Chain A
Amino acid sequence: MSEPPQKNDIPVMIGIGEYKVGPEPMMSIGLGSCIGLTLYDDDHHIGAMVHIMLPDSSGRTDRPGKYADTAVPLLLQEMTALGCKKQKIIAKMAGGACMFIYFGNNLNIGERNSERIKSILEENHICLVAEDIGGNVGRTVIFKPREGGKVTVRRADGVSIEI
């Protein structure tokens, strides 16, 4: 008989531009060109997740989770404030698709998002250990810091993969 789901097993929803730091499960649904980025420290079993929409904040500070250039430093800062060591933190990301092939191609925000995140992670010496990005499919991402930072990516056809 399976155990009834615990209250703290229900993932916290991370909407566009939102982020969360902690040990509890987190989830972003229906990522298109946006990116679900997760950071995880295995020593502390603490994770962070953010739902990034655009590569550049252009100086805006009111929604740091919305932009790659403000989100990554913020998450790192909050994790180190909880005692995590930067060199122990690993990153995974999913999303960055191009949902409409016929327009928005010239913008390709999904690709720009993932490139920007990669370069910022590199600048901060954070290792990107797994990714499921690009293509033209939507993705839902579930992140479980308590289960060793497990990241599950689910697609519209119901197929789930662990990255």
Chain B
Amino acid sequence: MKLSAVQTDAVQELGNIGAAHAATTLSQMLMSPVEMSVPQIKVIDISQLGQYIGEESAALVVFELQGEIPHGGYIIFYITRASAVRLTNTMLGLTDENRPLNEMDESALLEIGNIMVSAFLDATAELLGFIMLPSPPALTIDMAHAAMESLIAQMAEEVDEVILFSTELVCEEHKLDSDIILMPEYTTLTKIVGLLENMIKPR
């Protein structure tokens, strides 16, 4: 699917609103400011995925998009492993950064992901009047590429190309680097683009 400049702008704005709400919840949880990048739209051939998402160790909290479209794609809270430790340390009042992540960390990451993704999807639902509900979360802390390729392999529509909307969320104070990534199925993307076009069409 090729997006026109207008469609790209519209989808970028949607990502902007969703990510801004997610960033606000993260900022509240951390009680520190969180900076947000301009949302990026990346169309990636699956054979080139490794150039965008490598073998770095990261935590991914993954939700399937459900609701009006039952298997709508995925939304992912992505955080490098080093940042994940600092994030849960901040939440749990710990200081050791060279420790293994345990069950407590995993629960914390799942919960943080849950809150952020819910805020993202609430905001987009309000804007679009189209509801995407998050499934219960799944977590993996491993090579980022391994997690992403497994998600792509289990997408409802088989694809040779994926579209990722990613927004970087950074907290300077706690040295946290994370991303919110939306990976919609084509049906979801078509629906979103259609709704956005209707909104911006002059009446």
A interface residue numbers (CB < 8 A to B): 13, 15-18, 29-34, 53-54, 62-63, 66, 97-104, 107, 109-110, 136-140, 155-157
Contact = CB atoms under 8 A, between A and B. Distances in A.
Contact of A97 (B49, B150, B152, B158): B150
Contacts of B67: none
B102 interface: no
Given A137-B142, A155-B143, 6 more contacts: A16-B152, A30-B143, A34-B153, A99-B140, A107-B154, A139-B143
B64 A99 contact: no
B117 interface: no
Interface stretch (B11-19, B54-62, B89-97, B122-130): B54-62
B145 A138 contact: yes
B98 interface: no
10 contacts: A16-B49, A30-B53, A32-B148, A98-B150, A99-B140, A99-B150, A100-B139, A109-B150, A136-B142, A156-B57
Nearest to B64: A103
Given A138-B145, A156-B57, A156-B142, A29 B150 contact: no
State the majority secondary structure of interface residues on A: loop
Contacts of A31: 146, 149
Contacts of A53: 46, 149, 152-153
Interface residues of B, number: 32
Contact of A30 (B54, B135, B160): B54
A66 B45 CA distance: 12
Interface of B: 46-50, 53-55, 57, 62, 64, 135-140, 142-154, 158, 160
A15 to B, nearest CB: 4
A29 B46 contact: no
A29 B140 contact: no
Nearest to A101: B138
A18 B54 CA distance: 16
Given A15-B46, A101-B138, A140 B143 contact: yes
Contacts of B139: 100, 102
A156 B56 CA distance: 8
Contacts of A140: 55, 143
A139 B146 contact: yes
Given A15-B47, A53-B149, A29 B54 contact: yes
